[in-house]
Amino acid sequence: MIVGRLFVRLTLFYALVTGLVAGAAALYPELADYLPIGGAQTLLSAPSDDPLQAVQIGATSVSNLGGSIVWLVIAVGGALLSTLPVTWVYMASRSRAEYDQALVETMIVLPIAVTSIVVMVHNSLALAFSLAGIVGGVRFRNTLKSSGDAIYILLAIGIGLGAGIGALEIALVMTVIFNYTFTLLWVADYGALKGTHRYLRPNHVEEAGPAPDLGDAKEQSGEGAEPK
């Protein structure tokens, strides 16, 4: 079954990534100073009365160029790894007619861009307004095939925001819960009426191959050939 393989793939991926991070932190304790995590605790435990107060990333151990590059690489890589299993859920659940390869590519690239942008503007109101002006000058004319695809874009933006403010744990928890919850809803066909899940393919069958070309089939069988 598609769903069974998807569950196994997700579980093995999260277990492998967790084990690698834990092992690297155990072998190199100084690496913990460059992990973009801990931002959630700051956001939850230190509320501010000033809505314009900047969000503090909290990477106090990063004091030189090399350390900042290491922090950025880990943050962007963490955002990418958090997004990857989300694309698996999308690719497994979408029907052939509603599948959009451009959306898959956007989901992978978008958190990388958002992470970098958040790092740049997190402590500067002037840069934030400048970015808003630049984005406002660019016209995006991409129409999603399904309203269900919008949640994937929103999730990708959330992953980038979490990684950019040094709260990669938020992105990880968000994607883990999303992937398993959406997969369970897909299996249970929750809230379904006949014909309403047009953008999801049946979870109990394998994906059908591409439809054969009838013209080629006729040529091979001799049908439709001009008489000599």
CA-wise closest residue to 173 among 82, 45, 109: 82
Per-residue pLDDT, 5 = 87
Within a domain: 12: yes
- Structural domains of the chain, count: 1
Within a domain: 207: no
pLDDT digits (tens, 9 = 90+) for 122-166: 766 666 766 666 666 555 666 677 777 888 988 998 998 888 888
Within a domain: 112: yes
Within a domain: 177: yes
Amino acid at 190: Y
Angstrom distance (rounded) from CA 167 to CA 93: 29
Within a domain: 225: no
Domain hosting residue 127, numbered range: 2-44+63-202
Does residue 212 register a pLDDT over 80?
no
- SS3 string, 199-218, reads CECCCCCCCCCCCCCHHHHH
Q: Which residues contact 2 (CB under 8 A, 6 or more apart)?
A: 92, 203, 204, 205, 206, 207
Within a domain: 57: no
Within a domain: 56: no
Confidence of residue 14 (pLDDT cuts 50, 70, 90): very high
Q: Which residue has the tokens 């997700």?
A: 10
SS3 state at 59: coil
Angstrom distance (rounded) from CA 105 to CA 49: 39
pLDDT digits (tens, 9 = 90+) for 44-89: 776 666 555 656 676 666 777 777 888 888 889 999 999 999 999 9
Does residue 204 register a pLDDT over 80?
no
DSSP structure string for 15-47: HHHHHHHHHHHHH-GGGGGG----HHHHHHH--
Within a domain: 50: no
